[in-house]
Amino acid sequence: MHILFFADHHPDSLGGVQTSLMLQKKFLERAGHTVTMVVSRRFRRNRRLEGMIEVPALPVPPTGAYSIEPSLKLAYRTVQRKLAKMAMPVDIVHIQADMWGAILGAAWAKDHGLPLVQTVHTNLDVGISHTFGKTLTQRVAQVMNAWAASMLGHEAPKNTKDIWAFKEQISRHANFVTSPSGHFAKELVKHKVVANALVFPNGVDDDVVEGIRPVVHEDKNRELDFVWAGRLSSEKRVTEFIGAFQTADLENVHLNIYGSGQLEAKVRLVLVQLGLNDKVTFHGRLPHRDLVARFAQADLVAQSSVGFETQGMTVYESIAVGTPVLVADPKIAAELPEANVWLSKTPSVDDMARAMTRAAKDIRSGNTKRALDTGDWSVLQSQITAKMIDIYKQAIKQGPKL
C-alpha cells in the first residue's frame, strides 16, 4: 500500500503527535508499505525531508517552531505536483492533523476518490481555550468551519462558533475515525463528531523499549528522582506543578524538568523566584530515545495537564519502560494500569503536592509501583500498526465514503 499522511506540523517540531507520526511511518515501512507525509514547511535549516512533501507555510511566532498553511489551494497544488513526480498511486489517505492539514487531507481524498482514515489527535476546544480564551476560540472555529466548508463543498454548519462542528465536517468523509484514548473517543461521540470512534493509542517504539532496562533502585534512603517532561505551554500546567513541588517541600527529592516551548523563560524565572534551583534542574529538550531512557532511571514521571491530553505519551512511555507515573487527570489515569499510578485527588496545586508527598512516602516504604509486569497492557507500535493495517484494508475494500 501507498499511504498518504496529512499533518499540521513538520514532524521535526516538538510534540507527541509529531513523534507518533514518524513512529507509525517507521513500522508501516517495516511491514512493507510506503508512507508519504504531507507536512507544513519547517523554518529550520536541518530538517527531515525523506518521504515528505513540504507545502508552503508561514512560521508561527514567537519561536517559529510550528507553521501554518495560509493558502490551502496553494498547498493542494503543491501536493498535486509533487505526487505526480513520484508516479506512485496512492491507495489510502490517513489524516493525522486537526486543523489545516485535516481540511487538506479530506479534500484530497474526496477529490481523488480515495478511502480515508482520520485520527483525531487533539482536543482543540480545550487547547485553544486554555491558551487564548473562549472568545478567540470561537473566532478560530468560525474561520476553520468556513475554510472547511469552502474546500469540501459543504454548507457551513449552523453553529459556526463550535470547533466540534469543524471536526464533524472532516469526519463525515472518513471510512474510520480513530482516537488515541477511550476517554477522548467518548468526547468525539458526545459532541456528535462521529457515531463511533476506534481507539488506537499512539505507540511506543519497540526498538527503544527493548533496548532499555528498567532500573530497580535498592537504596530507599537515596535522593529520589522525580521527572516532569513535555512541551512548556500553559495547558501542560508546568508552572502549577513546580508550585506543587515547592508546596510539598519534600526532603531528599530532586525534580528534573525536560522540554522546550514558549514558557521556557517563565519556568526559569519561576525556579529563581521560588528559590528552587538547588532542588529543581531544568534540562531543556532531549532526543526522544534519550528521554525514554531517562524515564527508566526515574522514581516517577509526572504529568500535570488536565482535560487537554487526548493521551499524553510521556506517561505511556514511562510505564512501558518500568517507571510509575503521577497524573492529575483521572481520565488519563483510567487508561493506565492502576497499580503503576499515583493520582492527584484534584488538579489543584495543594492536591498535586499531597500526591507527590504520598508517592515519596510509598517509595521510601518499598511500594515503588514500578511497572515491571503490566500484564496485557501494551502500547508497542508493532502491535498497533498491525491492527491499523487491517483498518486500511477494510477502508480500501469499502471504497471512498463520499
Distance of CA 46 to CAs 56, 160, 237, Å? Answer: 17, 39, 30
Can you give the pLDDT at residue 60?
Answer: 75
Q: Residue-wise pLDDT tens for the chain (402 aa)? A: 999 999 998 887 767 788 889 999 999 999 999 999 999 887 765 666 788 899 988 877 666 667 888 899 999 999 999 999 988 999 999 999 999 999 999 999 999 999 999 999 888 887 787 667 888 889 989 999 999 999 999 898 989 999 999 999 999 999 999 999 888 999 999 999 999 999 998 888 999 888 888 888 888 789 999 999 998 988 899 999 999 999 999 999 999 999 988 899 999 999 999 999 999 999 998 988 899 999 999 999 999 998 777 777 899 899 999 999 999 999 999 989 999 999 999 999 999 999 999 999 999 999 999 988 777 788 899 999 999 999 999 999 999 987
**Of 255, 294, 253, 285, nearest in space to 271 by CA:** 255
Give CATH for domain 2-203+380-398. Answer: 3.40.50.2000
| DSSP symbols for 303-337 | E---S--SS-HHHHHHHHTT--EEES-HHHHHTS-
Bridge-based pairing of strands 2-6 and 34-40 is parallel
Say if residues 111 and 151 touch (Cβ distance below 8 Å).
no
Task: Return the CA Rg of the chain.
Answer: 21
Q: Is there a shared CATH topology between the 2-203+380-398 domain and the 206-365 domain?
A: yes
Distance of CA 160 to CAs 106, 124, 148, 155, 177, Å? Answer: 19, 15, 11, 11, 22
Q: pTM of this prediction? A: 0.80
Domain range annotation of the chain: 2-203+380-398, 206-365
CATH 3.40.50.2000 assigned to 206-365:
yes
Question: In which element (H, E) is residue 139 found?
Answer: helix 134-152
Can you give the pLDDT at residue 47?
Answer: 67
d(CA 284, CA 290): 12
Can you give the pLDDT at residue 44?
Answer: 65
d(CA 87, CA 64): 33
d(CA 364, CA 25): 42
Can you give the pLDDT at residue 42?
Answer: 75
Indicate the SS3 state at residue 347.
coil
- Can you read off the three cell numbers belonging to residue 218? 535498592
Q: Is the peptide bond before 89 cis (omega within 30 degrees of 0)?
A: no
d(CA 155, CA 48): 38
Can you give the pLDDT at residue 46?
Answer: 62
Can you give the pLDDT at residue 107?
Answer: 96
